[in-house]
Amino acid sequence: MASRTPLTVATTDMEAPPVALTRRARAINRALAEVYPDAHCELDYETPFQLLVATVLSAQCTDVRVNQVTPGLFSVYPDAPSMAAADRDRLEALIKSTGFYRSKAESLLGLSGDLVEKYNGEVPGRLKDLVTLRGVGRKTANVVLGNAFDVPGITVDTHMGRLARRLGLTVNEDPVVVERELMALIERREWTLLSHRVIFHGRRRCKARKPECGACEIAALCPSAPGAKVRA
């Protein structure tokens, strides 16, 4: 029987009780909710299919750039049937500015074909179905579920993974493991909003190369902040 990754709570200090880590994680979420009360998905979309496509295009690309590209893209290919039948060269030209356009075009053609063949052209509302689509992993599936279907999920993108480690909520690099650990710490109803809040914070304050710790609103809860008194 294949081994399964246990649903555990991460800690960098094994003497710290899990309840203390849970309380701090939830305190962080509450603090971020006050700082970013309007946190939301920054990709523009009107349908679950459009959100799915936009999320695929957002890999290694800014949401701003994706939002500049998708109006033209969706005017030509508004749904799965039309995109499944798209001319590859034209599709690539439309999405070229998002980067890695050949592989992204392959994913879009693949997932659109899968939707037509398996789901009558409609985006399914279950994780186990979404991840069967070509080019769709758990991160993309959780974005679509949380925002298009109101199904709670934690999106572990580069911002979430980086901040979760800086905040001492995990020591892991594997996005799937990080997702499971955060699920164990945060109330289910908060999963999607936590994802938005952390992504907002990662883009606006806790930046990869130069985090603004001196101005950070949640520094008192962060073990990575200069002079931190909180334990990871």
Q: Tell me, what CATH number does 27's domain have?
A: 1.10.1670.10
Looking at residue 2, what is its pLDDT? 37
CA distance 14 to 60: 35
Looking at residue 1, what is its pLDDT? 37
Q: Are residues 52 and 114 in the same domain?
A: yes
User: Identity (one letter) of the amino acid at 87?
Assistant: D
Looking at residue 171, what is its pLDDT? 94
Looking at residue 205, what is its pLDDT? 96
Q: Which residue has the tokens 């806790």?
A: 206
Looking at residue 4, what is its pLDDT? 34
Q: Are residues 35 and 55 in the same domain?
A: no
Give yes or no for a contact between 97 and 123, defined as CB atoms under 8 angstroms apart: no
Q: Are residues 52 and 116 in the same domain?
A: yes
Asked whether residue 215 is assigned to any structural domain, the reply reads yes
Q: Are residues 68 and 23 in the same domain?
A: no
Give yes or no for a contact between 27 and 213, defined as CB atoms under 8 angstroms apart: no
Q: Which domain holds residue 86?
A: 48-122
Q: Which residue has the tokens 């572990």?
A: 156
Q: For residue 226, what are the CA distances in angstroms to 16, 220, 222?
A: 21, 10, 9
Q: Are residues 34 and 73 in the same domain?
A: no
- 88: domain CATH number is 1.10.340.30
Q: Are residues 59 and 117 in the same domain?
A: yes
Looking at residue 231, what is its pLDDT? 73
Asked whether residue 200 is assigned to any structural domain, the reply reads yes
Active site (catalytic) residues = 139, 157
Looking at residue 10, what is its pLDDT? 38
Asked whether residue 66 is assigned to any structural domain, the reply reads yes
For residue 7, which of 189, 232, 195, 177 has the smallest C-alpha distance? Answer: 177
CA distance 180 to 71: 35
CA distance 74 to 94: 10
Q: Are residues 71 and 25 in the same domain?
A: no
Asked whether residue 3 is assigned to any structural domain, the reply reads no
Both structure tokens of 158: 């580069």
Q: Which of these three, 104, 122, 140, is where a domain ends? A: 122
Q: Are residues 91 and 34 in the same domain?
A: no
Q: Are residues 35 and 53 in the same domain?
A: no
Give yes or no for a contact between 133 and 111, defined as CB atoms under 8 angstroms apart: yes
Q: Which of these three, 80, 98, 122, is where a domain ends? A: 122
Q: Which of these three, 101, 122, 143, is where a domain ends? A: 122
If one counts the domains in the chain, the total is 2
Q: What is the number of helices (H) and of strands (E) in the chain?
A: 11, 0
pLDDT by 10s per residue, the chain, length 232: 333 333 333 334 434 337 999 999 999 999 999 999 999 999 999 999 999 999 999 999 999 999 999 999 999 999 999 999 999 999 999 999 999 999 999 999 999 999 999 999 999 999 999 999 999 999 999 999 999 999 999 999 989 999 999 999 999 999 999 999 999 999 999 999 999 999 999 999 999 999 999 999 999 999 999 987 777 6
Asked whether residue 57 is assigned to any structural domain, the reply reads yes
DSSP string, 16-31: S-HHHHHHHHHHHHHH
pTM of the model: 0.88
Q: Are residues 117 and 90 in the same domain?
A: yes
Q: Are residues 72 and 109 in the same domain?
A: yes
Q: For residue 27, what are the CA distances in angstroms to 24, 30, 158, 225?
A: 5, 5, 22, 16
Q: Are residues 165 and 117 in the same domain?
A: no
Looking at residue 78, what is its pLDDT? 97
Map residue 148 onto helix, strand or coil.
helix
